[in-house]
Amino acid sequence: MAEITRRGMLRHLAAAMTMAAVLLPGVGATAAEDSFPSQDIRFINAFSPGGTSDMLGRILADQLSKQLGHRVVVDNRTGAGGVIATQELARAAPDGHTILLASMGIMTITPQLQSVPYDVEKDITPIVKAASVYNVLVASPKSEIRTWQDLARLGKDAGRSPRCATVGAGSSQQLSCVLFASLTGARIDQVPYRGGAPAILDIAAGRVEVMFGNMPEFMGQIRDGGLRPVAYGAAEASPLLPDVPVISKTGLPDFVIPNWFGVVMPGGAAPAVVQRWNAEINKALEAPEVQRRFTENGLQRLGGTQEAFRQQIADDHARWGKVIREHGIRPE
């Protein structure tokens, strides 16, 4: 009850600040802008160090720290496919000093697969899309899987079920495994992890056969021979690995899995603070060092308006809701 009361007070305070900005044009906005940031920023990340989300978060945190004059500190809160991290954000004060790097799965898939202790529309404020990543199927070099057709064939073998690493219910990795199995008729066992890094280690060691995931976290092991790139789940091939085939163009047209990351903050935030964050993140995405690191790791810059991000969330919620219903996808 104390937590609910505290959150209610924060929401009322934020609403009062917003009303002041409306009644006194320029005054409320100026006050919010002048007082932000007044301390270091907590940048919550839903996944473990070493994965794509963590990599992207730290690239942005480095640049934003320079721009804002305060440290932007990455805080990894792993578990439950991003639910723990998102709940942390929803409980925070909506003053702009706590933000979250949210994935497509966190915002549009997880809430449709399981009950979550927050309302995505009311308790979370979208700020801006940050980046998109290529979805890639990789296999252990110790496995016999060299094409996506090999994976489908093995999954139909009555004597065995290939193991597919995921990072929890509602993630694009889980959606990829389940949708692939549904479209091909293969049986594939999911093995959940708290992040991409520990999953990759097990794939390289041969303890798990495959993983659909984000290209940036795979590149180091691919270059060193620790992972075998098999096919793209994305709509197009990346310039970094142009010879790897695209699943949707080689026999499975309905298999297209995009993934994006965006920055969000608690619900009830003052519009001036949201606008300031949107401007700062767009500025960070234009920084030469950020562009260089994105290119090297297979990240695609996005940016844009808050309204465009809000619409992306709504569109993907509808799209993946339809896929979930049509294919009977459930959390594993």
* Average pLDDT score over the chain: 90
Rounded CA gap, 287 and 292, in Å? 9
| Structural domains for the chain | 2-132+259-327 (3.40.190.150), 135-249 (3.40.190.10)
Judged against a pLDDT cut of 90, whether residue 21 lies above it is answered with: no
155 vs 137: CA distance, rounded Å? 15
Cα distances (angstroms) measured from residue 101 to each of 46, 98, 133, 281: 7, 10, 14, 12
pLDDT of residue 281 exceeding 70, the answer is yes
- Its pTM stands at 0.83
The confidence score (pLDDT) of residue 32 equals: 52
- Angstrom CA distances, 125 to 75, 85, 267, 307, stand at 19, 15, 5, 11
Torsion of CA 252, 254, 256, 257, to 10 degrees: -110
pLDDT at 18 over 70: no
Which parts of 233-282 are beta strand (E)?
Answer: 259-266
pLDDT tens digits, residue range 90-127? Answer: 999 999 999 999 999 999 999 999 999 999 999 999 99
Given this model, what pLDDT does residue 4 score?
44
Q: pLDDT-derived band of residue 205, with 50, 70 and 90 as boundaries?
A: very high
Share of the chain above pLDDT 90, in %: 75
Name the residue among 322, 274, 271, 279 with its Cα closest to residue 304: 279
Would you state the pLDDT for residue 19?
44
Q: How far apart are CA 60 and CA 197, in angstroms?
A: 19
The answer to whether residue 6 scores a pLDDT higher than 90 is: no
Q: What is the pLDDT of residue 7?
A: 52
**How far is Cα 179 from Cα 185, in angstroms, rounded to an integer?**
10
Q: How many CB atoms lie within 10 A of CB 195?
A: 23
Distance of CA 94 to the CA centre of its chain: 21
Least confident piece of the model among 18-32, 89-103, 197-211, 259-273: 18-32
Work out the end-to-end distance of the chain between its first and last CA atoms, rounded to an integer number of angstroms.
32
Q: Give the pair of three-digit tokens for residue 262.
A: 């965006």
Residue 28 has pLDDT above 50, yes or no: no
Say whether pLDDT at 158 is over 90: no
Closest CA to 133 of 248, 243, 216: 216
Confidence of residue 85 (pLDDT cuts 50, 70, 90): very high
Q: Is the pLDDT assigned to residue 59 strictly greater than 90?
A: yes
pLDDT at position 25: 45
Taking residues 297-314, what's their average pLDDT? 96
Share of the chain above pLDDT 70, in %: 89
Q: Give the 3-state secondary structure of residue 200.
A: helix
pLDDT in tens, 137-153: 999 999 999 999 999 99
At 329 the pLDDT is: 80
Span 216-262, pLDDT tens digits = 989 999 999 999 999 999 999 999 999 999 999 999 999 999 899 99
Within the chain, how many helices (H) and strands (E) appear? 14, 11
Instruction: Of 28-37, 235-244, 321-330, give the lowest mean pLDDT range.
Output: 28-37
Q: State the sign of the Cα–Cα–Cα–Cα dihedral 260, 263, 265, 267.
A: negative
Give kind and range of the element (H or E) at residue 109: none
pLDDT of 159 reads 76
Strand partners, 132: 260, 300
